[in-house]
Structure 1
Amino acid sequence: MKVYKQAKIVHETLKRLRVRIDWLQRKLIDASHISTLVERMEGIESARVNKGAKSVVIRYDGKPETRLAVLDFLDRLEPTNLPYVQQSNSEEKHFFHASLNGLALAASPFLTPGQRLALAGALVAPTIWEGIDSLFSGSVKVELLDAIAIGVATSRGDAITALSTNFFIHLGELLEAKTNNNSNALLRQLLHPAPTSAWKEQNGELTKVAADQLKLNDVVAVNPGDTIPVDGQVLSGTAQVNESSVTGESVPVNKEAHMRVLSGTIVEEGTLRIRAVKVGDDTTTARISRFIQDSLENKSETQKKAEKKANQRILITLGLGALTFLLTRDFTRVASVFLVDYSCALKLSTPVAMKSTMYKCAKNGILVKGGQVIETFADIDTVVFDKTGTLTHGELDVIEVESVQPQEWPKDRLLALVASIEEHSTHPVANAVVTNAKAHELPHINHSEVNFIVAHGMVSEVNGKRVVIGSRHFLEEHENVDIAPYEELIIRLENKGLILLYTSMDSVLTGVIGLRDQLREDAKSMIDRLYANGVARIAILTGDRARKAHALAEQLGIKEVYADLRPEEKAAIVQQIKDQGRKLAFVGDGVNDAPALVNADVGIAMPQGADLARASADIVLTDDNISGVAEAYEKSRDTMKLIQSNFKWAVGINSGLFVGASMGWTSPVVSSLLHNGTTLGVLARALSGVRER
């Protein structure tokens, strides 16, 4: 029997395990997240963590391999390696105190006045001590207001008011803690633990190994129902892969040789052999986990300002309480005033709204690194795009086929000829031509052996005639093909921003094929949405030729184009635009975009982009959908509007409560009830987040 270092089996029945891990009792451990990690493992039905007993209770399918996998996972689990650790969980504390005060209130009618007061004194003592402790810590917090209000009631012998007020305070704190934890839980749902095991190909045989032991270039086999353990390239096989855990797309996608697959996605049908391109902490799953961890830890300036304003308003409450006492000498009114404060709603609603928005964005394939990014993006007035791989797919389409010998080589036959020869090449231009010919079901044209002229083109023979395919320079300078008579045709095609592929037969031009980057289907609507939502300036930065870049810009309605740029020039132009007082977002995908991504106020990276681009970005699109840029912008603006609305609502309602308390219209119990109700209403609005458009 295998011996485990930290995962100790306390009790076991069929399909149920209770495992003890000593460090589970630490305050910084988020028990609910450990449950989430375990429940996402294959074969696990449920997992529950009991921090007090330092144990995990697991229900599973009863299979020995599932039992072994979960025990191995728990034995390797380290608190320092958890993707998210929160500061403390106050739900249990407030539930305990609210329950005790509620029971005391229920028992009060059966107690003597002296017994009631003694019981109240014992139960409210922790609340009063917290207030005194906050004062000695050098900061004035809401706990001080609660302590004064309850202390006043207790000192006057009003046990019922003290107990009721203490009950509502802890009940409010309990519900606030649950609301805040729920907002964190939304993001935790997006964390996808890597599979615990994998089938590694070794010497022609498959061996089951721990997924964290896989190395770069290892070959793994993935069968139906298996989770892909690495980011990799398919070597062989065909499968339907569910990528919803990473991209949010619910429809399975087809994967076959040479295609890219992501860790954390699941093979639904078929089998794949995959070469590991990224393993361990470099995989998509690990990057998403780190991204979300950063999102939970980063505070925005709006959140910091909200906390500052909330603390300032505690002093206002103290001042109003003192003024009320000076004018009325009524301790009941003073207690009522002290039980109304702005801080809870102001401090909590901002981070909850931010997290709710980050969750909704992530579910739609948009990873946002923290509330600061949302706040900054909402103020953006300029968006700059890289071209290839961003506004376009980075793949080519055949747009026009022009034959200059239409009698002998009509367009379809010319395309079939070029495709028949180009199918021997893996160049993107060749792939586009072959794909187009197949789509039109054009016949194969027999030819002799194909010769590759590196960096120039291809040469073959058809019916004894020399066929040359390649660039204009190659045909003119190396094959002596006279292209000058067709200059008007060529200029017309080039003005459309097309890449031109020339073909000749026995040194006579036969035709020209024009290709273009595939414009993303949603690029135009995305640009329109940005303009409609207040973006004043949109530009394209590209290393591509100016003519092609301007043609693309015209299609999209973009007037500002910077072309023929080197990577460092992109970053310089971004800085120039910022120096003009603009708030700028840059969207790119390549290694050469990293300097511009860093230099922008908000950097946005495409999902298929280079690692450096994704690492440099503030927002990463996990779904290959450029409309995510507009969606993130809209949600950022809506979130800031929601936060401002919550602020005005909280200040307005609590100000009204202040008036009522100081005028003696509300008792301390009613003040506490109304104040906590207001706070929970604001938090509910924040948690619901921005509405879908």
Structure 2
Amino acid sequence: MNRLQKWVYGNWSVPIVSGMLIILSFAIQWLAGGVADLTVSPQWWLEAGAHATHAGAVFTLGDGFMLAAAVVAGYGIVAKAVRALIANVIGIDLLVSVAAIGAVIIGNFWEAAAVTFLFAIGHALEAATLNKTRSALAELVAVAPDSAIVVRNGEQQEIPAGQVRMGEIVLVKNGAKVPVDGQVVSGTGAIDEASITGEAIPVEKIKGSQVFAGTVSRGGFLQVLATGIGADTTLARIVHRVEEAQDAKAKTQAFIDRFSRWYTPAVMVLALVAGLISGDVVLALTLLVIGCPGALVISIPVAIVAGIGRAARNGILIKGGEFLETSARISAVAVDKTGTLTEGRPQLTDIVLLDSALDRTEVLRWAAAAEAGSEHPLARPILETAQADGVGPHGIPGTVTPVPGKGIVSDVDGRQVLIGNPPLLEQYNVPDDGSAAQAAKALAADGKTPMIVAVDDKVIGVVAVADQIRQDAPEMVARLHQAGVEKVVMLTGDTRLVAEAIGTATGIDEIHASLLPEDKLDAVVQLQQEGHIIAMVGDGVNDAPALATANIGVAMGAAGSAVAVETADIALMGDNLLKLPEAIGLAKRTVSVMRQNIAIALITVVLLLAGIFAGGVTMSIGMLVHEASVLVVIANAMRLLRNAQGSTEMPKRERTTEKGAKQVTA
């Protein structure tokens, strides 16, 4: 399609042509009357027909151009009204059509042209605004890579991104876009993932790291194994989700649609009654035009599209308008502990010595040897620390017997090693003078998971493992409260002491510990029965029942997870906890704009209707004010596209590696 065709079929061609015809009509009438005969004032521009004191061909030609302007601007409006009537829908286009046709019949060509021209401008503005508010979607589409460099037959080949095959090796050089979802198999580099997660700080990638299509290399050279191509990439899923979300109607919008279906016939009946009683056809037609709820109809969708678009640009995917509205009413947030409030990567933090004949290294060696054959998640940090200290176990581990709820018993070089809690010692008759239990209790109070280590019949020490609290967790809780959330609740399967320590450090309001998945569901239901609108944040696996029951299910770090992107009500693409209060704050701003727009639209219509009955408001003046209200509504919604003060970037974290753990001597 060439440039001329684009203009002809564009949004502004009709109002521009119609406007030019109106100006031409005014010019002809002005020339016909002469400068001396006409006072070119605003009143004249509004009521040009009243100044047409000259008869003849020139005046008729002026009227002809005015009528042509009405036809050009009104043709599409009438056609849309007819199509709506065929579908048994009475919309605002019908009001404008009847008013314009009526004005033509009674010879008021200027009123017909003014109404249709201004309404056409309104339509063009609406279309342009929706296109603008969809800019986040356009930006997402724009970041999609066009080409890729793959290794085929041992050679580099540049091909269209859509032709990359699963399992191929893709080369990502400095400054290039990543063309596929994949895993780094070689090389290092820094990747700007703002298009996916909304975070501006590039992320370091090494072997084994995950990368996403549409992200940009800011340095280094990577070889990436393609695991997601074409429509199966995270970027494609985000585009699809945002597109669906922006088209989904909120409850308020659905109400406005129902309201319009009743409102339009009511206005038509009011106009008919007013015309019959007063005998004034112009009054009836004016009522039809002024009663058009144009600003009201656009007030909700433009705000929803802008709000969801702004969120997507910040790495927050909201499923639709209904969920955006619900998010604005969230009064309680339930969060899982592991992986949400904490890093999800336990580390060995303490070794408490209880046998003066041994040192820290000996206690660590026995603990690691006992855990070598264990599948428990807390075994990993013990083994990693032992390897780093050079006392890691070698060879095949001995017999390991798990004791559910208590710990494990291992055979290490013919000696019995126990690692677990005090009930494990009691079961195997290992004496404890109370020091081990006391040390374990003190460590648990600090939010750590203690494990007593005993060799044969003697306790030698206590090791403690802790999942580090995320740096941004306390700030997240504080910002949730600032965003209007009354209660932040922790739901965890961990012990009460550990949960309370984490809760105290992060500012959590309420703690529910030692929960099974069905217990988390019960906790969510209980909060709902207390009158709360609940948002549940979890990993979607063991939290699935609670996530499904909550009013809003939130998936953290959803980038790369097709299930999370498609099923979560809100998907936070990055791993930034502060995106949660940002999402709630944006939802509240969007709903506030929606309410403001509705108020502006309704107040405008009421004042104009009052002005008609009081006298002084003509059809053209009313339509001008009406379209001005549309502009105000649009401008108000466009504010949502600006980044709010509460928007976040992931704070830079200090990354330190410790060989070994802190030593505490009993």
Q: TM-score, with normalisation over the residues of structure 1?
A: 0.75
Q: What is residue 289 of structure 1 aligned with on the other side? A: 239
Deviation at 1:353, TM superposition (A): 0.8
**CA shift digits 1:98-119 (9 cap, x unpaired):** 4544454445545722222333
Structure 2 CA distance for aligned equivalents of residues 409 and 551 of structure 1: 29
Q: Quickly say closer, same or farther: Cα 1:130–1:204, change in 2 above 3 A.
A: closer
Deviations 1:356-397 (A, max 9, x none): 111222222211111111111222333222222222221124
Q: CA deviation at 1:196?
A: 3.8
Superposed displacement of residue 223, structure 1 = 1.9
Taking the aligned partners of 2:193 and 2:81, their CA distance within structure 1 comes to 53
Q: Work out the CA distance in 1 between the residues paired with 2:204 and 2:305.
A: 33
Distance 1:457 1:582, change over 3 A: same
| Residue pair 1:313, 1:342 contacting (<8 A) in 2 also | no
Tell me the C-alpha RMSD between the 2 structures.
Answer: 4.1
User: Is residue 631 from structure 1 mapped to residue 577 from structure 2 by the alignment?
Assistant: no
* CA distance in structure 2 between the aligned counterparts of 1:139 and 1:401, rounded to whole angstroms: 75
Matches within 5 A, 1:227-238: 227-238=177-188
Superposed counterparts of 1:132-143, under 5 Å: 133=82, 134-135=84-85, 138-143=88-93
Q: CA deviation at 1:299?
A: 0.8
Tell me, yes or no, if the aligned pair for 1:307 and 1:343 is still in contact at 8 Å. Answer: no
SS in 1 for 2:338: helix
- The residue type equivalent to 1:607 in the other structure is G
Match of 1:368 among 308, 313, 318: 318
| Structure 1 counterpart of 2:555, from 591, 594, 605 | 605
Q: How far apart in 2 are the matches of 1:391 and 1:332?
A: 67
Residues 618, 341 of structure 1: CA spacing in aligned structure 2 closer, same or farther, 3 A cutoff? same
Point out the more displaced range, 348-357 or 193-202.
193-202
Return closer, same or farther for 1:617/1:106 CA change in 2, 3 Å cut-off: farther
Query: What aligned pairs does 1:495-506 form with structure 2 within 5 A after superposition?
Result: 495-501=445-451
Equivalent runs, 1:334-353 vs 2, <5 Å: 334-353=284-303
1-structure distance, mates of 2:609, 2:17: 29
Confirm or deny that 1:685 pairs with 2:631.
no
Answering whether residue 87 of structure 2 is matched by residue 114 of structure 1, we say no
CA change 1:564–1:229 in 2 (3 A) is: farther
Residue in structure 2 matched with residue 644 of structure 1 by the alignment: 595
Q: Which letter maps to 2:340?
A: T
Query: Does the CA contact (< 8 Å) of 1:377 and 1:602 recur in 2?
Result: yes
**1:369-384 matches, cutoff 5 A:** 369-384=319-334
Within a 5 Å distance, the mapping from 1:566-585 to structure 2 comes to 566-571=516-521, 573-575=523-525, 577-578=527-528, 581-585=531-535
Report how far residue 352 of structure 1 moved. 0.9
Contact conserved, 2:96 with 2:292, CA < 8 A, in 1?
no
User: 1:105 touches 1:164 (CA, 8 Å); kept in 2?
Assistant: no
Structure 2 residue 43 is the aligned partner of structure 1 residue 52: no
SS at match of 1:237: strand
Question: What residue number does 2:618 align with?
Answer: 667
Q: Which amino acid aligns with 1:656?
A: L
| AA partner of residue 67 (structure 2) | G
3-state secondary structure, aligned to 2:616: coil
- 2:44 alignment counterpart: none
Change (3 A) 1:655 1:200: same
Q: 1:224 aligned to 168, 171, 174, which one?
A: 174
For residues 230 and 338 of structure 1, what CA distance do their matches in structure 2 show?
Answer: 55
Match of 1:41 in 2: none
The reply on whether 1:239 has 2:215 as its aligned counterpart is no
Q: Which residue of 2 aligns with 1:538?
A: 488
What is the correspondence of 1:29-428 to structure 2 with a 5 Å cutoff? 52=5, 90-110=11-31, 112-125=58-71, 127=74, 129-130=78-79, 133=82, 134-135=84-85, 138-191=88-141, 194-201=144-151, 206-326=156-276, 328-404=278-354, 409=359
Deviation of 1:345 (Å): 0.9
2:472 to 522, 527, 534: 522
8 Å Cα contact 1:416/1:444 also seen in 2: no
- Judging changes above 3 Å, is the alpha-carbon distance between structure 1 residues 121 and 521 closer, same or farther for their aligned structure 2 residues? same
Aligned length: 605
Q: Is the 1:131–1:147 contact (alpha carbons within 8 Å) kept by the matching residues of 2?
A: no
Kindly provide the CA deviation profile for residues 400-429 of structure 1, in whole angstroms up to 9, marking residues without a partner as x: 443335786369x97899899999999975
Residue 620 of structure 1 is matched in structure 2 by 571
Q: For the residues of structure 2 that align with 1:136 and 1:612, how far apart are their CA atoms?
A: 41
CA 1:420 to 1:228, structure 2 compared with 1: closer, same or farther past 3 Å? farther
SS of match in other structure, 1:394: coil
Q: Can you list the C-alpha shifts for 1:49-99, whole angstroms capped at 9, x where unaligned?
A: 759379xxxxxxxxxxxxxxxxxxxxxxxxxxxxxxxxx975554445445
Q: Is the 8 A contact 2:148 2:158 kept in 1?
A: yes
The verdict on how the C-alpha distance between 1:342 and 1:686 changes in structure 2, with shifts beyond 3 A counting, is farther
Distance 1:340 1:298, change over 3 A: same
Residue 647 of structure 1 aligns to which amino acid in structure 2? I
Change beyond 3 A, Cα 1:582–1:143: same
Match in the other structure for 1:589: 539
Q: Which moved more, 1:400-409 or 1:374-383?
A: 400-409
> SS state of the match for residue 141, structure 2?
coil
Work out whether residues 409 and 416 of structure 2, in 8 Å CA contact, stay in contact via their aligned partners in 1. no
* Partner Cα distance (1:110, 1:185) in 2: 46
Q: Distance in 2 between matches of 1:280 and 1:606?
A: 24
Task: Indicate if the aligned counterparts of 1:236 and 1:274 stay in contact, CA closer than 8 A.
Answer: yes
Q: 1:488 to 1:477 in 2, by over 3 A?
A: closer
Match of 1:82? none
Summarize deviations over 1:615-641 as a string: whole Å, max 9, x none.
321110012112222221222223222
Which whole-Å CA distance do the structure 1 matches of 2:374 and 2:511 have between them? Answer: 33
* Stretch moving more, 489-498 or 669-678: 489-498
User: 2:18–2:117: 8 Å Cα contact kept in structure 1?
Assistant: yes
- Label 1:342 to 1:500 Cα distance change in 2 as closer, same or farther (>3 A): farther
**Alignment gaps of 5+ in structure 1:** 1-24, 26-48, 55-87
State the structure with more CA Rg. 2
Distance 1:52 1:431, change over 3 A: farther
TM-score (norm 2): 0.78
Letter in 2 for 1:125: V
Tell me the residue number matched to 2:652.
none
Q: Measure, in 2, the Cα distance between the counterparts of 1:192 and 1:521.
A: 34
Q: Distance in 2 between matches of 1:575 and 1:506?
A: 48
Distance 1:562 1:377, change over 3 A: same
Change over 3 Å in CA distance of 1:607–1:193 after alignment to 2:
same
| Bigger mean CA deviation after superposition, 309-318 or 645-654 | 309-318
Identity among equivalent positions (%) equals 30
The CA deviation at 1:298 is 0.8
**Maintained 8 Å contact 1:570/1:596:** yes
- 3-state secondary structure, aligned to 1:395: coil
Q: Find the aligned partners of 1:525 and 1:108 in 2 and give their Cα distance.
A: 69
